[in-house]
Amino acid sequence: MRTTLIAAASALAVLLCASPAAAQEDEAAPATWGVNPSGQDGPDGRAAFDYALDPGETLIDFVGVSNFSTEPITLRLYASDAYTTETGAFDLLPSGTAPIDVGSWIGFNEQELTVEPQTRLDVPFALTVPADATPGDHVGGIVAALTEEGEDVLVERRVGARIHLRVSGDLDPNLTPDADEATYHYVWNPAKPGSLTFDYEVANRGNVRLQGELVARVGGPWDVLAREHVIAELPQILPGDTFAGTAELEGVWPLLHVEVDLIVRPEAVDPADVDSRLPTRTDESAVWAPPWTQLAVAVLLAFALWLTFKLRARKRRKAAARSGEPRPDPEPEKEPVEA
């Protein structure tokens, strides 16, 4: 059975770059092409399709599709929704998955086009924002895809350009952290601290794409020996998406009840988008970490001191017992003999 393989790496090479990109050339498929924002008369210098529209509004724009190859190529042109991958990267839905957000609001007169070698087509498209569209950021991309035959597979190579649409209305920048499965790890050396691991997740529960910094403030009761650990520099997290990972913190002392404050300090992807003073949110958790090795050393020291005092007391008793024994009478002094 012939299957379809999506060449996601090719798409990422484009969607993560600010400048127009092209599919990589190889011996079996020498076709190379690029996709970038354009106007009716050619590229206009935009790195992405950035829009600010009202619900119900429609606009017409152009996407430039360039064929850098020496042969004509036939491409499939479509729009799709973006999402945040498990590694925090930007990607688009697989071609077989229908978009339900901004990717579904874009239409082309033709979804397949043939581009002659060393030429560019500036293709018009319409973007219509639904009247009931939610305020905030809607992110996607426009893709030109080429399907080629491989050994028992159909390989689809994708090249695209990002779409950043801001629908007017109330904005709600909201990155919420969550920590789970905290575990304390001891070391045998009582003079050294142990470590702490836990799983974390940062969810974008608002309607603005955000990035930022994730830190953990770790310490004992009443903030004893508390200090901050930088967990991650957060990538761009799209509304409705999450970024997850596992934190490994070194240098944590077993303070019986180790308290963990997981703090997210969000930043706008574009500082001009929203107020720079974004709300910081914290998730509080704790883990029991009795100082077993330190207690064991304390017990041994206490036992050693007790044993020392015990031995000294025994020596004193023996010395006192010896001092109470009768002593032999001293020899009488001899009187001097007169000559």
Q: What is the pLDDT of residues 147-164, one digit of tens each?
A: 887 677 778 899 999 999
Q: What is the pLDDT of residues 4-22, one digit of tens each?
A: 333 333 443 444 343 444 4
- 60 and 161 in a single domain? The answer is yes
Q: How confident is the model at residue 334 (pLDDT cuts 50, 70, 90)?
A: low
The per-residue pLDDT of the chain, averaged, comes to 86
* Domain contains 161: yes
**Residues 36, 23: Cα–Cα separation, whole Å:** 13
- Of 145, 134, 121, 212, the closest CA to residue 170 belongs to 134
Q: Which of 109, 132, 167 is the last residue of a domain?
A: 167
* Domain contains 193: yes
In this structure, the dihedral spanned by the alpha carbons of residues 12, 16, 22 and 23, taken in order and rounded to 10 degrees, is: -10
* Domain contains 219: yes
Q: What's the pLDDT score for residue 6?
A: 38
* Domain contains 337: no
The per-residue DSSP string of 80-119 comes to EEEEE-TTS-EEE--TTSPP-SGGGGEEES-SEEEE-TTE
Which CATH number covers residue 64? 2.60.40.10
Total domains in the chain come to 2
- 155 and 205 in a single domain? The answer is no
- 154 and 22 in a single domain? The answer is yes
Beta bridge partners of 118: none
Q: Which of 167, 202, 232 is the last residue of a domain?
A: 167
Q: What is the pLDDT of residues 247-288, one digit of tens each?
A: 999 999 999 999 999 999 999 987 666 665 688 999 999 999
- 192 and 135 in a single domain? The answer is no
Question: Is residue 74 over pLDDT 80?
Answer: yes
Instruction: State the residue range of the domain holding 47.
Output: 3-167
- 101 and 241 in a single domain? The answer is no
- 158 and 208 in a single domain? The answer is no
Question: Is residue 26 over pLDDT 50?
Answer: no
- 56 and 148 in a single domain? The answer is yes
The per-residue DSSP string of 252-318 comes to E---EEEEEEEEEEEEESSTTTS-SSPPPEEEEEEEEE--HHHHHHHHHHHHHHHHHHHHHHHHHHH
Q: What is the mean pLDDT of residues 134-157?
A: 88
Question: Is residue 102 over pLDDT 50?
Answer: yes
Which tokens is 164 given? 């950043």
- 136 and 181 in a single domain? The answer is no
- 157 and 11 in a single domain? The answer is yes
Question: What are the distances in angstroms from CA 209 to CA 203, 232, 236?
Answer: 11, 17, 6
* Domain contains 300: no
Question: Is residue 325 over pLDDT 70?
Answer: no
List CB contacts of 29: < 8 A, sequence separation 6 or more: 146, 148, 155, 157
Question: Is residue 225 over pLDDT 60?
Answer: yes
Could you give the 3-state DSSP secondary structure of residue 10? Answer: helix
* Domain contains 326: no
Q: What is the pLDDT of residues 297-310, one digit of tens each?
A: 777 788 788 878 88
* Domain contains 158: yes
Question: Is residue 228 over pLDDT 70?
Answer: yes
